Amino acid sequence: MTSHDVAAHDLEPGAQLPTQTFRVTRADLVRYAGASGDFNPIHWNERIATRVGLPNVIAHGMVTMALAARVVTDWAGDPAAVEEYGVRFAGPVVVPDDDTGAEVTVTGVVKRRLDDGRLQVDLTARSDGEKVLGRARAIVRIPT
């Protein structure tokens, strides 16, 4: 969808963004670690992760954050339309050592139109029924 495909009613407060579900596997975590340089063993070593009190290996927070942002950029049609973005990490995405991995489901809603015409979009990300991002919010400028 391009920004020209966003209908006017999709820009009003209360409008829902299309829900997306993403799969995160251990292989994804390895690729992200290589790209980011974040080789913290809680993202790849079950023994270390459980030793520090985690239920298993967890996804990098920035992976989860990026998945949620993708919902907004896909909806807006242009990554540059997202002018501000922030989240609070509310819980981990636990990634089992299997071929399935974990699912992260992201929903979004247009919360309000700001005085300057930009839109505030609030996001919710859940994995295994638990909220994994809190106060996830994007400020988006949709070209007219």
Distances from the Cα of 129 to the Cαs of 8, 54, 103, 105, in angstroms? 32, 17, 10, 9
What is the rounded CA–CA span in Å between residue 93 and residue 88? 14
pLDDT band at 144 (very low <50, low <70, confident <90, very high): low
Q: CATH classification of 3-23+60-140, choosing from 3.40.50.1980, 3.30.450.20, 3.40.1410.10, 3.10.129.10?
A: 3.10.129.10
Domain ranges of the chain: 3-23+60-140
Note the pLDDT tens digit of each residue in 59-68. 999 999 999 9
- Find the length of the chain: 144
CB proximity list for 73: less than 8 A, separation 6 or greater: 79, 81, 82
- pTM of the entire structure? 0.91
What mean pLDDT comes out for the span 35-42?
Answer: 97
Using alpha carbons, list the distances in angstroms from residue 92 to 31, 76, 86.
18, 27, 17
SS3 of 127, please? Answer: strand
**For residue 35, what are the contacts with CB-CB under 8 A and spacing of at least 6?**
none
pLDDT band with cut points at 50, 70 and 90 for residue 1: very low
Type of residue at 141 = R
